[in-house]
Homo-oligomer: A and B are copies of this chain.
């Protein structure tokens, strides 16, 4: 007998029919002799319904009350799923975040899990219940309801799996697993059987968002085996674990990120420390910088380019403009029509020429590379946004066809 944690997102429980479908999956797993803890998100777009209610009244409401409001969403879905399981003839108990032992920081709307005390979950399992837990939510040390922010339910599931030493944590979603590229865009995209935590982390940051980063980091830390799979087809998904069998594969995927902007500061004087001051101004505003390119200086001047999230682009320009110009820079430009294309793969560490092969694919497709960034398991290039899909196809074909 294994202990399996299963997590279902909002689309998987969007309506009565879907809830019954989830109940079927859960009870099948239980009937095979497993202990089952299920973590669910709020139904479909119910969170939007709640946010709309707030917007009508007070768009700037304090975050404690936002959490109070939003946490009602999962409360509804856990009750409904428990009822659906009961309908199929099994015993179920629903637990809110605080009842399931989730103690979090008190940073409302983006709280971090501090501790999970699964005593009540364990007790309910001991009484042969399927336990249905509200994802995304917890309780602060002040006894206030908190929410975990984006992707929080994935993290809730992994945290329970870690606290209870579960044998497997299944993340049910609306795709069948992790693919070598976006299957809606790339015809030959293949589902991966396995992928390592690190590769998954890179893919998540790169916009191929199947799993939330925090949840993968936590799974890595506690060595929890994850499976990403579809609640609709129930086909075998992708296993995320420490050492993937795929080591012989050069790369595990090609990802595209268009939520990105490039900022170029031209004619920056070659004074020591000026780049440092520039970036520290951005980090004070919590603006993350990704790829950085600094031109070779000439005439005591240099150009510095870097990328930020598109939503923070204008803010970054505003934060730097006066300072840079008063320190002699000749100008600052924002370009939002860029895309970052990345290949990810633990295999590239031990294989030379992976980057070259990627550049060759882009050259063959006549796509100009603006910036390059590499890490041990990743190569990213910045290109014009209009070329993004073409680039992904060309690179994918080069490595996988």
Contacts and interface: CB of A to CB of B under 8 A. Distances in A.
Interface stretch (A58-66, A165-173, A331-339, A371-379): A58-66
A68 B78 contact: yes
A338 B66 CA distance: 51
Interface string A67-107: 01101110110111011101100001110100100000000
B57 A84 contact: yes
Interface stretch (A48-56, A213-221, A226-234, A308-316): A48-56
Contacts of A96: 68, 145
A272 interface: no
Contacts of A65: 79, 82-83, 86, 92, 94
A interface SS class? helix
A120 interface: yes
A300 interface: no
A75 B72 contact: yes
A56 to B, nearest CB: 4
Interface string A3-35: 000000000000010011000000000000000
A87 B16 contact: no
B83 A58 contact: yes
Interface residues of A, number: 37
Nearest to A143: B99
B57 A76 contact: no
Contacts of A69: 75-76, 79-80, 83
Nearest to A99: B143
A342 B117 CA distance: 57
A68 B82 contact: yes
Contact of A83 (B54, B73, B75, B93): B54
A390 to B, nearest CB: 45
Nearest to A19: B57
A300 to B, nearest CB: 54
Contacts of A54: 79-80, 83
User: Closest 3 A-B residue pairs measured CB to CB?
Assistant: A69-B79, A16-B56, A61-B83
25 contacts: A16-B56, A19-B57, A20-B57, A53-B76, A54-B80, A54-B83, A57-B80, A57-B83, A57-B84, A61-B83, A61-B86, A61-B87, A62-B83, A65-B92, A65-B94, A68-B82, A68-B94, A69-B76, A69-B79, A69-B80, A69-B83, A71-B75, A72-B72, A75-B75, A120-B143
